[in-house]
Structure 1
């Protein structure tokens, strides 16, 4: 007896959407049919060439009308307008999920427009690379990485079961959080580190007459701590606009932490500086021992 074929529509076949497509085609082959929508025809052609989707089109109706599950992976501020665009073409019982890095903003808007027979299950695969676009996609991008599923958006158990039966093929470590806690935790573990990495690059840019000499000294430490500053600026601007309260609060806390180090350095308080580095080393080393169960900050 043949298994029922699932139809998946990926809106935004870039790094995340493309990696999901590559993974599921690799695992399920002809048991899944994947349609895709990209920003440009060139991207759609590349997505088909790489095998991330079976069919790509700029026609939204053609992409989503037969979809059992719709996976949204554009920048956060484009998710709600995209849902408004695709809603007229979705079949009854369709499941909408997403890869948005912030959840509260999206759900506040979607709950006002979703009909009772279309279900939204918020998701956030906490993985990525400093590169973007479908050419950066990898079929094993999700393996071992945290993948948050938010369960308080009113979708029935059978919808959750159907989505998870598909997503389990990613090899991700799934965890559940409520929406508010997700946004607070994502700010600490992902959003603020991106702001900080960009700040370090900005510091280099503002080093004035020392810049050329500083550049000659760049090594692994600078490259490692600033790697994520090469991420997509459009995506990160949207994240800051949709999780601004949590990001600002945690940046102020970070500012206080840096301020205490500044004071210790100015006062030549070696013990305070030593304690600062010792505490952070112990905490990071402890986290790495259980890395498979922790959020990946990429």
Structure 2
């Protein structure tokens, strides 16, 4: 492989982890530039080895890039593409880590020239921590990574992108845009909203709040861990996948309503069946899910 130039827009948890991974695997065969807003972030990204060069100057970061990896909050992706377009070379591949795809593609297809290719991506991984200091070179290993193939990019562009992303060790799968957003709502977006709701419930426990906090154990910590995620990122996700998230929250509300009714009516069998069915499904779910992805 000739030396490839990768530009990372947003050298935080995801972008930084990609940089660490690819520098570890490819070394001098890849040159990575990173766009950061603050000097401290630039210095840290270079010091950690996530990028070879970091700057707040867009042109110096993306000019001559073969691939641009976009990893800012979702609502910042389209405005960022508008800024970098004048400096991209012909044949450049744009990909992203956005948790929603329909909103991004709806806007990008109106502004991208024919010789700049967008291949939507979504690595289904993360941590409750943010920033490049939270980045890990093995963050993607064994995790689902969605590649959306209905954005018009030619096969050779897909091949080139995957020749790089394969080094992440992720399990790649393909979905169309609409299905991606619906599925992401169920398995990622609504769980984050729910985790935050549980923390809010605790905070609204009135005079019992302090006593409840003293009782916090592993169950509460595990269930609400993702509520510590970046608020800007999750606000953007809710704004750009609102239809699916609202629909799934209403379905969740209906499920909880059924449980409320069973509890209020002391219907032990209904409550038992609710827990038993969930246990049986979950006990098989994760194992089955791992078989549905084509390992790269």
Name the TM-score, length of structure 2 as normaliser.
Answer: 0.98
Equivalent residue runs for 1:1-298 within 5 Å: 3-293=1-291
Contact 1:145–1:292, Cα closer than 8 Å, also in 2: no
| Residue-pair matches, total | 293
Asked if 2 retains the 8 angstrom alpha-carbon contact of 1:34 and 1:53, the reply is yes
Q: Secondary structure at the match of 1:290?
A: helix
Q: Secondary structure at the match of 1:8?
A: strand
The 8 Å contact of residues 35 and 56 in structure 1, kept in 2 or not, is answered as yes
Q: Secondary structure of the residue that 2:28 maps to in structure 1? A: helix
8 Å CA contact 1:132, 1:232 repeated in 2: yes
2: CA distance, partners of 1:283 / 1:202: 28
1:292 Cα deviation from its structure 2 partner: 2.8
Change (3 A) 1:294 1:48: farther
SS of the equivalent of 1:204 reads helix
Separation in structure 2 between the aligned mates of residue 241 and residue 293 of structure 1, nearest angstrom:
32
Distance 2:290 2:82 in 1: 37
Q: Distance in 1 between matches of 2:37 and 2:205?
A: 37
- Whether the 8 Å contact between 1:102 and 1:239 is mirrored in structure 2 is yes
Moved over 6 A (4+): none
Task: Tell me, yes or no, if the aligned pair for 1:146 and 1:293 is still in contact at 8 Å.
Answer: no
Whole-Å Cα distance in 2 between the matches of residues 164 and 114 of structure 1? 21
CA distance in 1, matches of 2:291, 2:227: 25
TM-aligned CA deviation for residue 293 of structure 1: 4.0
Structure 2: how far apart are the matches of 1:294 and 1:37? 35
In structure 2, C-alpha distance between the alignment counterparts of 1:70 and 1:188, rounded to whole Å: 29
Q: CA RMSD in A?
A: 0.9
Secondary structure of the 2:37 match is: coil
Deviation at 1:66, TM superposition (A): 1.3
2:282 and 2:30 map into 1 onto residues whose CA distance is: 40
Shift of 1:294: 6.3
Q: Which 5+ residue runs of structure 1 have no aligned equivalent?
A: none
* 1:291 shift after superposition: 4.8
> Taking structure 1 as reference, are residues 294 and 132 closer, same or farther at Cα in structure 2, changes over 3 Å only?
farther
Contact in 2 for aligned 1:146/1:294 (Cα 8 Å): no
Distance 1:56 1:104 in 2: 30
- Asked if the contact 1:151–1:176 (Cα under 8 Å) also holds between the matched residues in 2, the reply is yes
Aligned-pair distance for 1:40? 1.6
1:115 is displaced (CA, Å) by 0.2
* Contact preservation (8 Å) 1:11, 1:17: yes
**1:39 deviation in Å?**
2.7
Q: Residues 225-274 of structure 1, C-alpha deviation per residue, up to 9 Å, x if partnerless?
A: 00000000000000000000000000000000000000000000000000
CA contact (8 A) 1:104 1:180 kept: yes
